[in-house]
């Protein structure tokens, strides 16, 4: 989903993969793998670089327009918390680990 938006915006701006990569200071191969949906979890820093070159707010890549109805129901406060966690360097695996720990902790209190 993010890769598709990057590709769409890149093409709207008339930039090739090489031009975007060079201007943003990122690897062309990484942008390509993102656009092809091989890479699905770009860092906030990467998105900031791309957004700067494309002259769009970074949130544009995370826009839920066109998403499934269930995905559109994400509370804005949750979205902000997620963005904050990602910007602090928390990745998906760390977040899953926290969730598992929290489930375990909750189960300890209910026994």
pLDDT tier for residue 68 given thresholds of 50, 70 and 90: very low
pLDDT tens-digit series, residues 9-67: 999 999 999 999 999 999 999 999 999 989 888 988 899 999 999 999 888 887 655 44
CB neighbours (10 Å) of residue 7? 18
Q: Give the C-alpha separation, 37 to 2, whole Å.
A: 8
Residue that wins the pLDDT comparison between 82 and 23: 23
Indicate the burial class of 32 (C-beta count within 10 angstroms; 0-12, 13-18, 19 or more).
middle
pLDDT number for residue 64: 53
Question: Would you give the DSSP letter of residue 66?
Answer: T
């Amino acid at each position: 989903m993010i890769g598709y938006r990057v590709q769409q915006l890149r093409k709207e701006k008339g930039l090739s993969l090489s031009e975007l990569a060079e201007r943003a200071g990122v690897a062309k191969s990484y942008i390509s793998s993102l656009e092809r949906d091989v890479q699905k979890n770009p860092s906030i820093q990467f998105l900031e670089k791309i957004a700067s070159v494309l002259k769009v707010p970074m949130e544009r890549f995370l826009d839920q327009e066109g998403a499934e109805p269930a995905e559109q129901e994400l509370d804005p406060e949750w979205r902000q918390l997620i963005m904050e966690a990602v910007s602090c360097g928390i990745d998906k695996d760390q977040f899953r680990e926290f969730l598992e720990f929290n489930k375990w902790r909750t189960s300890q209190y209910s026994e």
